[in-house]
């Protein structure tokens, strides 16, 4: 089975703490909400301390058109993407010339030529490298992209695949959108990039005492009649966030049956899981995971830490959690579940094992 060798991450330079974000939201939304003070506690309850953005706070206090925001998206996404990929490959002393397939996942901007094509001019990739850009997966994108990397490496066991997930959610902010969904998004979303290296069975692993997890299985689930749960509406001045308050309830109701069916394919039960690598969509979503799966205390420690320090970076976030998991030591036989939810409404599950 293919193995995950390394993760590299990158974030932009501008940091904003949650108190500043709350004040920004008050200034932006108070004219539209007569009871704005009733909504602002969402910033306090988000379990977020700091987030990173592609532009300083003062930039967001002015109106910017979609074309300008998208130009910045392309520029910063390529910068962070290059940084994340270099860190990922350097961790196992490899270079871009060793990569056979580049998969790039992003939903927070548009680029043609795609981001992967642009990165070809920034990194030393082979001229004939396979490239797969994937758009529209939202918060599930990191896990879905990792599944596609696993499937490619399984089909071509002598190959190495890099998955890059890069999201600049802050640049989708529209000052004239005074909806509750946009207010909630302002309390939660942030920018970041993460790259993962996946190697097929026939690739020689780096000489190291470290255990590299193998990918045992992956499964996608899309629930019917759920298109309005999460996503974007494309409007004249950009991407309008769609964010249902029902997401935690959906997690509590739907996730456990999906996870149990997935584990059953490998002859496992929930009690066999020792590591949970979950996309931290928000504090309420993590609490819903814990309740639905009856998780042990501290099972979501890495997810909560990433949420606290970086916020929700959409598709890249679960890979930040994976990076922290890989930094730990694991006994042979340790089993982990990587999971993320996204537009569709959909779930992506991946089973990992350290041997």
CA–CA gap between residue 331 and residue 320 (Å, rounded): 22
Which of 176-180, 307-311, 330-334 is modeled with the greatest confidence? 307-311
Instruction: Tell me the percentage of the chain whose pLDDT exceeds 70.
Output: 99
Min mean pLDDT across 35-44, 45-54, 120-129 is at: 35-44
Mean per-residue pLDDT over the chain, rounded: 92
User: What letter does residue 205 receive in the DSSP assignment?
Assistant: P
CA–CA gap between residue 181 and residue 257 (Å, rounded): 28
Contacts of 312 (CB under 8 A, 6+ apart): 139, 169, 188, 189, 190, 280, 281, 282
pLDDT in tens, 66-95: 999 999 999 999 999 999 999 999 999 999
Residue 209 has pLDDT above 60, yes or no: no
CATH superfamily of 213-354: Thiolase/Chalcone synthase (3.40.47.10)
Look at residue 55 in the predicted model and tell me its pLDDT: 96
Look at residue 207 in the predicted model and tell me its pLDDT: 66
Same fold, 3-199 and 213-354: yes
Look at residue 103 in the predicted model and tell me its pLDDT: 98
Place of tokens 């959906």: 250
For the chain, domain boundaries: 3-199, 213-354
Look at residue 208 in the predicted model and tell me its pLDDT: 66
Could you tell me the fold of the domain covering 3-199?
A: Peroxisomal Thiolase; Chain A, domain 1 (3.40.47)
In 3D space, the residue among 7, 351, 1 whose CA is nearest the CA of residue 197 turns out to be: 7
CA–CA gap between residue 301 and residue 2 (Å, rounded): 26
247, 229 in Cβ contact below 8 A?
A: yes
Min mean pLDDT across 41-55, 91-105, 179-193 is at: 179-193
Is residue 139 part of the annotated active site? The answer reads yes
In 3D space, the residue among 28, 336, 14 whose CA is nearest the CA of residue 182 turns out to be: 28
- 219 to 25, 151, 192, 296: CA distances (angstroms): 38, 11, 25, 23
Which of 78, 88, 139, 169 does the annotation list as catalytic?
Answer: 139
**What confidence category does residue 181 fall into, taking pLDDT thresholds of 50, 70 and 90?**
confident
From start to end of the chain, where are the E strands?
3-10, 14-17, 50-53, 101-106, 130-135, 160-168, 191-199, 214-222, 230-235, 238-243, 275-278, 334-342, 346-354
In 3D space, the residue among 23, 16, 59, 46 whose CA is nearest the CA of residue 187 turns out to be: 46
User: What letter does residue 119 receive in the DSSP assignment?
Assistant: H
**pTM recorded for the entire structure:** 0.94
Length of the chain: 355
pLDDT in tens, 116-125: 999 999 999 9
């Amino acid at each position: 089975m293919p193995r995950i060798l390394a993760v590299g991450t990158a974030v932009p330079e501008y940091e904003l703490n949650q108190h500043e974000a709350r004040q920004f939201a008050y200034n932006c939304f108070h004219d539209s909400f007569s009871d704005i003070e009733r909504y602002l506690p969402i910033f306090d309850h988000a379990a977020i301390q700091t987030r990173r953005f592609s532009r300083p706070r003062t930039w967001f206090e002015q109106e910017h058109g979609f074309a300008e925001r998208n130009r910045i998206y392309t520029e910063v996404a390529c910068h962070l993407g290059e940084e994340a990929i270099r860190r990922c490959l350097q961790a196992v002393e490899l270079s871009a010339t060793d990569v056979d397939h580049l998969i790039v996942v992003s939903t927070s901007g548009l680029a043609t030529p795609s981001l992967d094509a642009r990165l070809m001019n920034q990194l030393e990739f082979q001229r004939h490298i396979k490239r797969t850009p994937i758009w529209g997966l939202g918060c599930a994108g990191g896990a879905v992209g990792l599944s596609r990397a696993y499937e490619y490496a399984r089909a071509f066991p002598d190959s190495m695949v890099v998955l890059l997930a890069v999201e600049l959610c802050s640049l989708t902010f529209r000052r004239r959108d005074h909806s509750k969904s946009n207010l909630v998004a302002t309390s939660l979303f942030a920018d970041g990039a993460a790259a993962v290296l996946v190697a097929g069975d026939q690739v020689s692993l780096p000489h190291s005492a470290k255990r590299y997890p193998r990918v045992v299985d992956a499964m996608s689930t899309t629930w019917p009649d759920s298109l309005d749960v999460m996503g974007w509406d494309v409007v004249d001045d950009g991407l309008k966030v769609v964010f249902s308050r029902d997401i935690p309830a959906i997690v509590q109701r739907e996730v456990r049956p999906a996870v149990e069916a997935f584990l059953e394919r490998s002859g496992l039960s929930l009690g066999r899981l020792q590591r949970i690598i979950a996309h931290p969509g928000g504090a309420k979503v993590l609490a819903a995971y814990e309740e639905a799966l009856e998780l042990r205390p501290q099972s979501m420690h890495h997810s909560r830490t990433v949420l606290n320090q970086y916020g929700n970076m959409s598709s890249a976030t679960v890979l930040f959690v994976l990076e922290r998991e890989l930094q730990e030591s694991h006994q042979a036989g340790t089993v982990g579940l990587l999971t993320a939810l996204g537009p569709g409404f959909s779930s992506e599950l991946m089973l990992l094992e350290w041997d």
